[in-house]
Amino acid sequence: APAILWFRQDLRLADNPALAAAAASGRAVIPLYVLDETARPLGGASRWWLERSLAALDADLRARGSRLVFRRGDPRLQIGELVATTGAEAVFWNRLYDGHSVARDSELKSDLKADGVEAISCNGGLLVEPWTVKTGAGDPYRVFTPYWRAAQSKIEPLPALDAETQISAPNHWPDSDNLSDWKLYERRPDWAKGFNDWTPGEAGARAALARFLDEPAATYAEDRDRPDRVGTSRLSPHLHFGEIGPRQVWRALRGRDLPAGQADKFLAEIGWREFNHHLLFHWPDLPIRNFKSEFDRFEWRDDEPGFRAWARGLTGYPIVDAGMRELWATGWMHNRVRMIVASFLIKDLMIDWRRGEAWFWDTLVDADIAQNAGNWQWVAGSGADASPWFRIFNPVTQGQKFDPDGDYVRKWIPELAGLSSKTVHAPWIASDSELQSAGVRLGETYPRPVVDHAEARERALDAYVPVRNG
Ligand code: FAD
């Protein structure tokens, strides 16, 4: 009797513990992907990525004489049906840590056990699983630094799992949908046409890691905050979909002779990824509820025009607008700029962080429940170990500091390209003659600021008083 190998956010063949365990069971393997229609609907950019990643995985499986079975609906029902029709005796998967998946997987496990079917789950997604790291008092951590210190001591230097593991095909393939029938993303209008720099799938993930190790890794600590440089790995969507696992990244970094501190800095970011999964596991409401409940008293503003200006990159603050346009065009935004645009939405516009979270969810190719919620709450100040509310980014000085020549802004806002390095971050301070020779007419070719940052800052600090005073 065959075994089912249920792929979720582990769309790779190498270093995949569930796949290795299924192959080692000696059974024929039915690789399965279920489009989960009971979960939070995927955003548009995620759907674009998923379609390509699944196609790549199917092709890789076919190259080994296997294939991917596509189903959609409620995964519990789909797997139940597949077990009944194939006589499968075991189901293998790698674990997920969000509330919806945890509850569903444990129900599925009991369904399967009740039917005498083995259910084997593995860790393919994290260096250290959320329940392994506890404070001295036995509680989950709420602060990153002690969390990461404790977590690193638990990382087991497991050997790489063979990338060439052979899995044998069943005698009969069960019914499968056609991936293309799922129409995961709308082709017209093709808003994803600027996504061409991405290569979803395991080979693309490996190439991204190799590219990073080749160059940016050696100066990561200095360049990671510079949106005008390729200073980071751009591994986030690959990690989200599990086209590469954090253990592979860890081994690759540790295996390199990088200048002092560079690998540690990078691995600490992988640590933040782990920490957000840890938070989400222990506080499943993280995406919808303030981690710090005193923020429930905060009075968010209703500001549709403000939200629209933010989403479309028309706030009149160039670094904010550049980031939002990069996001729309590529499905990704540099981390420094994500912090700036999030601070702007939350503090300058005083719009609820959950609206920003939802926009990112729809537009990011790396949209991830844990990372998105954890980071939005971090910027809002409502999260665990968050940046304090009064740390309000000044979009002009942030731009001048992290995009000092203005190259990033010029790339995404070509209508400002003729301005100097200084005024390109604050066009309203440019002289009339500079504006004229650059062809900029404020309010016409580029918007005037939707709020005055200094006034907005005071307003945000005042609004915080009831939160602080309880
Ligand atoms: P690198 O600098 O090369 O870092 C390597 C890896 O470390 C990343 O791929 C990522 O897995 C992890 N990492 C880096 N920074 C962070 C961080 N701040 N928090 C958690 N993990 C991190 N990241 C997502 O993967 N999905 C999201 O939905 C997401 N939403 C965000 C929302 C906001 C408001 C902010 C401020 C950040 C968000 N991030 C999110 C975190 C971060 O911006 C991205 O992970 C990073 O920009 C990805 O680029 P990279 O792979 O080149 O990063």
Measured from the CB, is residue 376 less than 6 Å from ligand 1?
A: yes
- Between CA 199 and CA 204 the distance in angstroms is 5
For 64-100, write each residue's pLDDT tens digit. 999 999 999 999 999 999 999 999 999 999 999 999 9
CB contact at 8 A, 350 and 455 = no
* Mutation probe of ligand 1 site: the residue of 269, 354, 361 with most atoms within 8 A of C-beta: 269
Does 452 belong to an annotated binding site?
Answer: no
Closest residue by CA, ligand 1 atom 13: 269
> Average of pLDDT values for 363-380?
98
For 255-310, write each residue's pLDDT tens digit. 899 988 999 999 999 999 999 999 999 999 999 999 999 999 999 999 999 999 99
Domain 293-469, architecture per CATH: Orthogonal Bundle (1.10)
CB contact at 8 A, 166 and 23 = yes
Does 303 belong to an annotated binding site?
Answer: no
pLDDT range class, residue 45, cuts 50, 70, 90? very high
| Predicted confidence (pLDDT) at residue 337 exceeds the cutoff of 80 | yes
Is 353 an active-site residue?
yes
**Confidence at residue 370, expressed as pLDDT on a 0 to 100 scale:** 98
CATH class of the structural domain 125-158+202-282: mainly alpha
For 402-443, write each residue's pLDDT tens digit. 999 999 999 999 999 999 999 999 999 999 999 999 999 999
Here the ipTM equals 0.99
Is 272 an active-site residue?
yes
pLDDT range class, residue 470, cuts 50, 70, 90? confident
**Confidence at residue 421, expressed as pLDDT on a 0 to 100 scale:** 95
Distance (Å) from CA 263 to ligand 1 centroid: 16
Measured from the CB, is residue 372 less than 6 Å from ligand 1?
A: yes
For 223-239, write each residue's pLDDT tens digit. 999 999 999 999 999 99
Domain segments of the chain as ranges: 3-124, 125-158+202-282, 293-469
Across the strands, what pairs with 378?
A: none
- Tell me whether the CATH fold assigned to 3-124 matches the one assigned to 293-469: no
Does 464 belong to an annotated binding site?
Answer: no
Distance (Å) from CA 335 to ligand 1 centroid: 6
Distance (Å) from CA 38 to ligand 1 centroid: 26
- Between CA 451 and CA 314 the distance in angstroms is 12
Topology, domain 3-124: Rossmann fold (3.40.50)
Which residue among 81, 269, 415, 434 is the active-site one? 269
Provide the whole-model pTM.
0.98
Closest residue by CA, ligand 1 atom 21: 273
